[in-house]
């Protein structure tokens, strides 16, 4: 600990020297009492030591970064986000500036209280805020915490200029799970690049770090494959309800991946197979294995389609698809779906999953699949997403695989909140804002078998961003906390007060959240 305190002091002094911080300028301001531990942070950090003073964020605050280019970009990111909230335009990495009276330092350090790659310390003093992290990921997570600490309202009585008072103290933080995800079904209804970017921006504020895109299903194929163009020109032409569908060109997809990466979020592409493949088979009928002439489908049934698992040409096709998508995907995972293949014979299904796993691995990716894939003879490096069958999840755990926790009755964002919900389905029950939050991933396995948690949003009943928002928010905010915060830091009575204070952010981001009557929503922080 001694070594640790020394290092914090060192980084404070270091950052000051770096920016020729002029301490003569530090003002004596008398702040009203603030308590860092009572700030409406979501997800709740690991540990908060409050110091009950205030840091004056104002036009005299500068941002200073040390480390690599990634850190410099983070400085600009923070500046832009503070501007959006307060209209302050802070200077980033300005070497000499007598106007600067307080500063925010974003430091790359090689030693931290935790070795977790997303860990960070946020040390808030009376004239400096220091972020220490040993990766840019950690610093990015810290920046989200800091954004949440900037009050909505400035204090206009402390000085002639407007000051946003940030409570002092130290936060030590690290996630309990490395994987905190949501899934969006862009196959049943298509959502365009701009809509996805808006969603990513808001999700990253709550430290969600993976976005799983369900890119194909019976009703639509949504990603351009250069070697098989009809997948999108024909297979992407419609959606549930019969409206024009849509698809991402490879350039669009790369843009989504890059935007996500700027938000320290990884995209996981899913091509669902061997079932859920009607749209692909309409485009290329040789793929079809259900013996019927495929036609475009705009209904909501599942489980009627399958690839022909015994044709080599099907695997040649899949090799192209998996290769093209993998090349555009820097993340480690490729999701092969594998759910509800009700018209594929069991032995064919098992053969198929084994063979596709090899293709995924050949292109340098780890395979993930819905829990049914646990029945095949797959590698312990592949990952099983538990959504329905506990037996399948346990099978995966026995094989030494990691599982993703997505039980439908707990995490499905497309389930209605209650019988009055405007959108959503109810086959797995109603999921209220409190029941979405009041459970623990460890109910489904030991912590070491769990990669993390994911909340899927299937889009049969939603076609507009506002409808997507309605089902996702506020529940997805609770899932973000379930993935990040340890169980003893998750208390509904406390969480609901913090959630109530998210309104200003959600309004600013134009998020159409469901105003759950369980929450006493607050209009200003
Ligand atoms: C089940 S969850 C499905 C999807 C549907 C969803 C609707 C899973 C792996 N398959 O095909 O869209 O239910 O809630």
* pLDDT tens-place string over residues 198-233: 999 999 999 999 999 999 999 999 999 999 999 999
Q: Is residue 49 part of a domain?
A: yes
Domain boundary among 173, 190, 206: 173
Identify the domain boundary among 151, 173, 195.
Answer: 173
Q: Whose CA is nearest to atom 4 of ligand 1?
A: 458
On whether residue 348 sits in a domain, the answer given is yes
Same domain, 410 and 501: yes
Which secondary-structure segment (H or E) carries 471?
helix 465-472
3-state secondary structure of 271: strand
Q: How many domains does the chain have?
A: 2
Q: Is the CB of 423 under 6 A from ligand 1?
A: no
Ligand 1 within 6 A of 454 CB?
no
CA of 385 to the centre of ligand 1 (A): 12
Is the shortest distance between the CB of 340 and ligand 1 below 6 Å?
yes
Same domain, 195 and 150: no
Whose alpha carbon is nearest atom 11 of ligand 1? 302
d(CA 165, CA 162): 10
508 pLDDT above the threshold of 60? yes
One-character DSSP codes across 279-325: HHHHHSGGGB-SSS------S---S---B-TT-HHHHHHHHHHHHHH
For the CA of 276, the nearest atom of ligand 1: 11
pLDDT digits (tens, 9 = 90+) for 387-443: 999 999 999 999 999 999 999 999 999 999 999 999 999 999 999 999 999 999 999
191 with 165, same domain: the answer is no
Q: How far is the CA of 293 from the centre of ligand 1 (A)?
A: 24
Is 484's C-beta closer than 6 angstroms to any atom of ligand 1? no
Q: Which pLDDT score is estimated for 14?
A: 42
| Residue 247: band (very low, low, confident or very high) from pLDDT cuts 50, 70, 90 | very high
What does the mean pLDDT of the chain come to? 94
Q: At CA 276, angle to CA 272 and CA 282, rounded to 5?
A: 110
- Within a domain: 516: no
For the CA of 387, the closest atom of ligand 1 is 2
Percent of the chain with pLDDT over 90: 89
Tell me which DSSP letter residue 113 carries: S
In this structure, what token pair is assigned to residue 397? 């755990």
Q: For residue range 436-486, what is the model confidence (pLDDT) as tens digits?
A: 999 999 999 999 999 999 999 999 999 999 999 999 999 999 999 999 999
Evaluate if residue 102 carries a pLDDT over 70: yes
Q: Provide the percentage of residues in the chain whose pLDDT is more than 70.
A: 94
Residue owning the nearest CA to atom 6 of ligand 1: 458
CATH of the domain at 112: 3.30.379.10
Q: Does 519 map to a domain?
A: no
pLDDT of residue 18: 42
With respect to residue 240, please indicate whether it lies within any of the assigned structural domains. yes
Same domain, 406 and 437: yes
300 CA: nearest ligand 1 atom: 12
Q: Are residues 447 and 326 in the same domain?
A: yes
pLDDT band for position 11 (cuts 50, 70, 90) = low
Residue 524 lies in a domain: no
Residue 478 is part of which domain span? 179-508
- Of residues 6 and 174, more confidently modeled: 174
Q: Are residues 137 and 204 in the same domain?
A: no
Residue 72 Cβ inside 6 Å of ligand 1? The answer reads no
The protein residue whose alpha carbon is closest to atom 8 in ligand 1 is 339
Q: Give me the DSSP letters along 25-73.
A: G-----PPP--GGGS--SSPPSEEEEEEEEEEESTTEEEEE-SSHHHHH
The CA dihedral of 522, 523, 524, 525, to the nearest 10 degrees, is 30
Residues identified as active-site: 340
* Order of all β-strands in the sheet with 120-124: 47-57, 164-173, 120-124, 128-133, 102-108, 61-65, 91-92
Residue 2 has pLDDT above 70, yes or no: no
Cβ of 386 closer than 6 Å to ligand 1, yes or no, is no
The protein residue with its alpha carbon nearest to ligand 1, atom 2, reads: 387
CA dihedral (483, 486, 487, 491) positive or negative: negative
- Tell whether ligand 1 has an atom less than 6 A from the beta carbon of residue 77: no
Please give the C-alpha separations between residue 173 and each of 8, 114, 201, 204, in angstroms, as whole numbers.
Answer: 15, 8, 21, 16
Indicate which atom in ligand 1 lies nearest the CA of residue 188. 12
How high is the pLDDT of residue 26? 56
pLDDT score, position 13: 42
Q: What is the pLDDT of residue 10?
A: 40
CATH of the domain at 314: 3.20.20.80
Cis peptide bond N-terminal to 202, omega within 30: no
The pLDDT-based confidence of 3 (bands split at 50, 70, 90) is very low
Residue that terminates a domain, selected from 173, 197, 218: 173
Residues 233 and 155 in one domain: no
379 and 285 share a domain?
A: yes
Regarding whether 196 and 148 lie in a shared domain, the answer is no
Helix (H) or strand (E) run with residue 169 in it: strand 164-173
Distance 436 CA to ligand 1 centre (A): 18
Nearest-atom number in ligand 1 for the CA of 427 is 14
**354 C-beta closer than 6 A to ligand 1:** no
Please report whether residue 97 resides in a domain. Answer: yes
Question: Which mutation among 302, 304, 368, 421 tests ligand 1's pocket best, with the greatest number of atoms within 8 A of CB?
Answer: 302
Which residue among 458, 460, 472 has the greatest number of ligand 1 atoms within 8 angstroms of its CB, and so is best to mutate? Answer: 458
399 shares a domain with 299: yes
Instruction: Tell me: pLDDT of 17 over 60.
Output: no
Domain assignment present for residue 518? The answer is no
Q: What is the pLDDT at residue 524?
A: 56
Which ligand 1 atom is at minimum distance from the Cα of 385? 9
- Ligand 1 mean position to 85 CA, how many Å? 38
Same-domain status, 253 and 389: yes
- The whole-number pLDDT of residue 157 equals 81
Give the global pTM.
0.95
The mean per-residue pLDDT over the stretch 518-525 comes to 82
What does the pLDDT look like over 313-367, one tens digit per residue?
999 999 999 999 999 999 999 999 999 999 999 999 999 999 999 999 999 999 9
State how far the Cα of 45 lies from the Cα of 144, in Å rounded to an integer: 11
Q: Residue 27: what pLDDT?
A: 64
136 has a pLDDT exceeding 80: yes
Distance 96 CA to ligand 1 centre (A): 57
pLDDT score of 23 more than 90:
no
**Residues 192, 515, 466: CA angle, nearest 5 degrees:** 15
Asked if 327 and 454 sit in the same domain, the reply is: yes
pLDDT at 133 over 60: yes
How far, in Å, is the centroid of ligand 1 from the Cα of 264? Answer: 27
Q: Which atom of ligand 1 is nearest to the CA of 185?
A: 12
Ligand 1 midpoint to CA 459 (Å) = 9
């Amino acid at each position: 600990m001694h070594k640790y305190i020394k290092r914090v002091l060192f980084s404070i002094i270091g950052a000051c020297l770096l920016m020729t911080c002029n301490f003569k300028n530090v003002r004596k301001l008398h702040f009203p009492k603030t308590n860092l531990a009572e700030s409406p942070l979501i997800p709740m950090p690991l540990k908060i030591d409050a110091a009950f003073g205030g840091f004056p964020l104002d036009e005299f605050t500068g941002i200073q970064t040390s480390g690599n280019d990634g850190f410099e970009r983070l400085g600009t990111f923070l500046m832009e986000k503070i501007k959006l909230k307060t209209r302050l335009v802070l200077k980033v990495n300005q070497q000499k500036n007598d106007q600067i009276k307080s500063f925010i330092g974003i430091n790359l350090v090689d030693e931290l209280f935790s070795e977790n790659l997303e860990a960070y310390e946020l040390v808030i003093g009376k004239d400096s805020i220091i972020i220490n992290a040993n990766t840019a990921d950690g610093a990015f997570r810290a920046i989200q915490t800091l954004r949440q600490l900037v009050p909505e309202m400035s204090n206009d009585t402390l000085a002639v200029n407007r000051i946003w008072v940030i409570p002092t103290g130290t936060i030590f933080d690290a996630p309990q799970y490395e994987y905190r995800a949501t899934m969006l079904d862009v196959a049943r209804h298509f959502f365009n690049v701009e809509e996805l970017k808006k969603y990513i921006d808001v999700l990253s504020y709550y430290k969600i770090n993976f976005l799983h895109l369900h890119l194909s299903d019976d009703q639509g194929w949504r990603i351009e494959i250069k070697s098989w163009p009809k997948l999108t020109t024909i297979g992407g032409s419609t959606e549930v309800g019969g409206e024009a569908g849509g698809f991402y060109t490879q350039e669009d997809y790369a843009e989504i991946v890059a935007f996500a990466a700027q938000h320290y979020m990884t995209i996981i592409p899913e091509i669902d197979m061997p079932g859920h493949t009607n749209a692909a088979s309409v485009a290329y009928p040789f793929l079809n294995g259900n013996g019927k002439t495929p036609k475009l489908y705009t209904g909501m049934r599942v489980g009627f389609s399958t690839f022909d698992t015994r044709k080599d040409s099907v695997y040649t096709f899949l090799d192209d698809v998996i290769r093209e998508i993998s090349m555009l995907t820097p993340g480690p995972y490729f999701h092969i779906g594998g759910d509800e293949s009700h018209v594929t014979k069991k032995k064919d299904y098992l053969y198929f999953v084994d063979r596709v796993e090899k293709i995924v691995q050949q292109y340098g990716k780890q395979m993930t699949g819905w829990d049914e894939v646990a029945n095949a003879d797959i590698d312990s490096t592949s990952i099983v997403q538990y959504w329905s069958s506990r037996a399948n999840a346990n099978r995966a755990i026995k094989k030494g695989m990691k599982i993703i926790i997505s039980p439908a009755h707990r995490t499905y964002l497309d389930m209605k909140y209650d019988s009055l919900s405007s959108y959503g389905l109810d086959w797995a029950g109603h999921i209220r804002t409190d029941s979405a939050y009041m459970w623990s991933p460890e109910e489904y396995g030991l912590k070491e078998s769990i990669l993390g948690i994911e909340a899927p949003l299937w889009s049969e009943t939603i076609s507009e961003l506002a409808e997507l928002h309605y089902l996702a928010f506020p529940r997805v905010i609770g899932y973000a906390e379930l993935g990040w915060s340890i169980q003893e830091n998750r208390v509904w009575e406390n969480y609901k007060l913090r959630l109530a204070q998210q309104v200003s952010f959600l309004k600013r981001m134009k998020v159409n959240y469901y105003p759950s009557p369980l929450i006493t929503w607050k209009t200003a922080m």
